[in-house]
Amino acid sequence: MNSNPPLLPPSEKPGENLPLKRGRKAIELLSPAKDLIGGIEAVNHGADAVYIGAPKFSARAAAGNSLEDIRALCTYAHQFDARVYVALNTILKEEELKETESLIHKLYDAGADALIIQDMGITQLNIPPIPLHASTQADNRTVEKIKFLESAGFSQVVLARELSLNEIRKIAGETSVSLESFVHGALCVSYSGQCFLSAALSGRSANRGECAQYCRLPYTMIDAEGKEIIQGKHLLSLKDMNRSDELEALLDAGVTSFKIEGRLKDVTYVKNITAYYRKQLDAVLGRRSEYKRLSAGRSVFTFEPVPEKSFNRGFTSFFLHKRTTEITSFDTPKSKGEPIGIVKEVRDNSFTISSGAKSLTNGDGLVFFNRKGDLEGFRVNKVEGNRIFPLEMPLLKHKTEVFRNHDQAFEKILLKPSAERKMAVDMEFLDNPFGYTLAITDETGARAIVTEPFGKEIAKQEQEINIKKQLSKLGNTLFESRLLTISMNKNWFVPSSLLAEMRRKAVEKLMIARKIRYRREIRPQPGKEEQVPYPEKELTYLGNVSNSQSEIFYRKHGVEHIEPAFDILPGKNVPLMFAKHCLRYSMGWCPVYQKQHSPYKEPYYLLYKEVKLRLQFDCKACQMLIFVDEKK
């Protein structure tokens, strides 16, 4: 039998996934969850943390979840040391403060690891010591603002999507708070928290989680004299973000949390995109020893994740490096999916395509831009080689590019169990004067020992193979065997039934040990000497102050004049959207970058039915402002 020394301490055991050394920075992959099922699948597919909507007061009103489901998700995630952040990021009315205070206590009791908030009034409530994350709705885009949030006790700040690598690097260099950056998903055209268009036009406030998405509508752009510049295009609609090639650059800039957008997306999106970024991020962490994963366990997938197969309007890295024209989705706000080829020949009931047809299957959804420039879709009924027979033949023409926005076979895979997450364990089996001992240690250092008294007798056959076989049967648990050491002074007979019972008890004890070891972070209480005054002395409607506690917060930090939020007192003739996306730049008329003169007279307007929007360009701040103009 193996004569290795028994019960080695975890720090001396071989294996590459030992408890991580001190000093390595924990890096988080943060995935969205529409509901409990989505949250569990996000964890299964590799998320280090999941963010999910509270029962009320979430910036996605349609994605609220019960306390029971949040508790269940916390219980599941914490098994892997994964965290659950609850989005409570709307602004609050005065009469909602007490209910919010009560809800936060219930969320804390349910096991939530942090709250994502926008309304600073929450900090003035009597709440438990749950960490607070500053939502991107809080408009976090300057060093001064993030320094302030850190001093006010926030442990993580969700950065504005519009920031460049250099801007992120500067913020990280002057702060120590954890920085969270979006890396994938839908893009709002306005700075988050600074869009009031939906509230003004429909009464549905984005800051209350009810955005009507006027940015995705088709607009006709005219000039001051009524001349048409462009007709019926989605001029405020952006492509979706994809920064999967920029993870290491973001890491080097100081980002510690990589966030996937999508709390309204279905579970197949969560599975595919989480798995994709898990693989991409693991590749980076594998060559960067100064970093480590935030959570434990390894996910194995039954599919190869491909981001183009999930909902997308085309991809952009946005303003990460510089301003480009490749950020917009003017032709459609709908999902294009993945390009599959060019139409070569069209017949009455079928057409051929240049490539990709062999991978198509019955039921696939294909789209193309028709003669009007609109995205049109159809279903595949049959495929023969490169020839496609649609269910209903569309009006296709030669050289039309075709996309697949629904891959039937891929979706079928994702609708089934498609990932398994396991934690590696090392086991030691040895004899003692009274029987046998089994020690089990997981990759985080959690440890359990089971000793069973048993009379010994010399076995007729070698026992090592059967011992390893029985102890390695961890299939229905969270664990997988990595190293199994046997140390007995003689070839004692060990019944399979005893081994199975010891394995069961050891796993149960290890699960209890893991639960005891899990510790939620506590919100820091900033000292007076550490507090930084708010960067501004005055707050306009852009501060989104909608209750007395929020006002108290800002006055405590040096703000002298505070206007009410737009939701409380709608302003007249004020900018309703602030966008780094600029239509003057998109048209090639930017006086700063392109040095070109427009042939049209400003101001420009956007028209959609009865809606008329006026554009204003602030070149100093490099942004476009949108006002609601008089009705047509």
Q: What distance lies between CA 606 and its chain's CA centroid?
A: 32
3-class SS string, 591-619: CCCCCCCCCCCCCCEEEECCEEEEEEEEC
The string of pLDDT tens digits covering residues 303-329 is 999 999 999 999 999 999 999 999 999
Domains 25-187+239-295 and 336-414 share a fold: no
Burial grade of 503 (CB within 10 A; 0-12, 13-18, 19 or more): buried
Section 186-198 average pLDDT: 97
Assess whether the previous peptide bond of 131 is cis (omega < 30° from 0): no
pLDDT of residue 9: 38
Q: Hey, where are the domains in the chain?
A: 25-187+239-295, 189-238+533-632, 336-414, 422-517
> Cβ(19)–Cβ(286) under 8 Å?
no
The string of pLDDT tens digits covering residues 271-293 is 999 999 999 999 999 999 999 99
The string of pLDDT tens digits covering residues 48-100 is 999 999 999 987 877 789 999 999 999 999 999 999 999 999 999 999 999 99
> Residue 571: pLDDT band by 50, 70, 90 thresholds?
confident
Fold of domain 25-187+239-295 = TIM Barrel (3.20.20)
> Cβ(85)–Cβ(30) under 8 Å?
yes
For residues 9 and 382, the model is more confident at 382
pLDDT of residue 534 exceeding 50, the answer is yes
pLDDT of residue 632: 46
Question: Which CATH number is correct for 336-414, 1.20.1440.230, 3.10.20.340, 3.40.50.150, 2.40.10.170?
Answer: 2.40.10.170
C-alpha–C-alpha distance, residues 34 and 277, integer Å: 18
The string of pLDDT tens digits covering residues 136-157 is 999 999 999 999 999 999 999 9
pLDDT, mean over the chain? 94
C-alpha–C-alpha distance, residues 121 and 90, integer Å: 11
C-alpha–C-alpha distance, residues 591 and 117, integer Å: 38
pLDDT of residue 60: 81
For residues 289 and 524, the model is more confident at 289
pLDDT above 70: percentage of residues in the chain: 95
pLDDT of residue 353 exceeding 80, the answer is yes
pLDDT of residue 528: 66
- What separation in angstroms does the CA of 330 have from each of 75, 215, 491? 43, 11, 75
**Cα radius of gyration rounded to whole Å, the chain:** 29
C-alpha–C-alpha distance, residues 622 and 325, integer Å: 14
> Residue 12: pLDDT band by 50, 70, 90 thresholds?
very low
435-442 vs 447-453, strand pairing mode: antiparallel
* Angle 560-565-566 from CA coordinates, rounded to 5°: 140
Encoded tokens for 622: 């490099």
pLDDT above 90: percentage of residues in the chain: 91
pLDDT of residue 378: 97
pLDDT of residue 605 exceeding 60, the answer is yes
Q: What distance lies between CA 599 and its chain's CA centroid?
A: 42
Identify residue 416 by its one-letter amino acid code: K
pLDDT of residue 14: 31
pTM for the structure as a whole: 0.94
Section 184-192 average pLDDT: 97
Section 370-393 average pLDDT: 94
> Residue 7: pLDDT band by 50, 70, 90 thresholds?
very low
H or E segment and range at residue 435: strand 435-442
- Residue 410 backbone phi and psi in degrees, to 5: -65, -45
